[in-house]
Amino acid sequence: MFQAGELVIYGNSGVCQIKEVGVPGFSTGENAKSYYTLSPLHSTETIYTPVDTKVLMRTVISSTEAQTLIGQLPQLQEEDYSTCNTKWLANAYESSLQDYTCETLMKLIKSICMKNCEVILSRKKLNETDLKYLKRAEDLLYNEFSVALGVTEEDVKQIIEKTLEELMTQKVHG
């Protein structure tokens, strides 16, 4: 069980701070149960979720884990998302997002960025499905890494983009 003050990942909400653990005023009577009161770091909403929620909750990764994953980015095997079937793409991307791990998010970002490299070479653009899921994956990953590393999301974005640019340059010239 998590404690008040902890930072956790809560599903697709990203990093949240647990403000309280207990029975809120709206949970009354014989069916009253304990809830986490969550405050996402990048929004003003409040989330109430039962302590026995089926939604994934996990602790934020450590600084060491984040640094290790960034170092492994060049070796991560990207997926082939070259299909034009946007429904298949959306399902594949959504499945990756539902994994809720930083490694899977990095793999998704790398895969879409490498796809973008191929698309640019053929003088085309990524489709809206690619762009939508790239943004969602980046938001979730950069949010967690910024907390883990104690830097801004923009700093994380620059680190990841620099590594990806080097990989794309190698691919184009290699």
The sheet that has 47-50: what strands, in order across it?
47-50, 35-40, 15-22, 7-10, 57-59
Q: For each successive 10 residues of the chain (174 residues), what is the average pLDDT?
A: 94 93 80 90 92 93 96 91 85 90 94 86 86 95 96 95 84 65
pTM for the full predicted model? 0.88
Predicted pLDDT at 174: 59
Predicted pLDDT at 172: 64
Q: What distances in angstroms separate CA 65 from CA 30, 103, 174, one per listed residue?
A: 43, 10, 30
**Sequence letter at residue 45:** E
DSSP character for 54?
S
Per-residue pLDDT of 14-55, as tens digits, reads 999 999 998 887 877 777 889 999 999 988 999 999 999 999
Which residue is listed with tokens 């883990």? Answer: 148
Structure tokens at 66: 């984040």
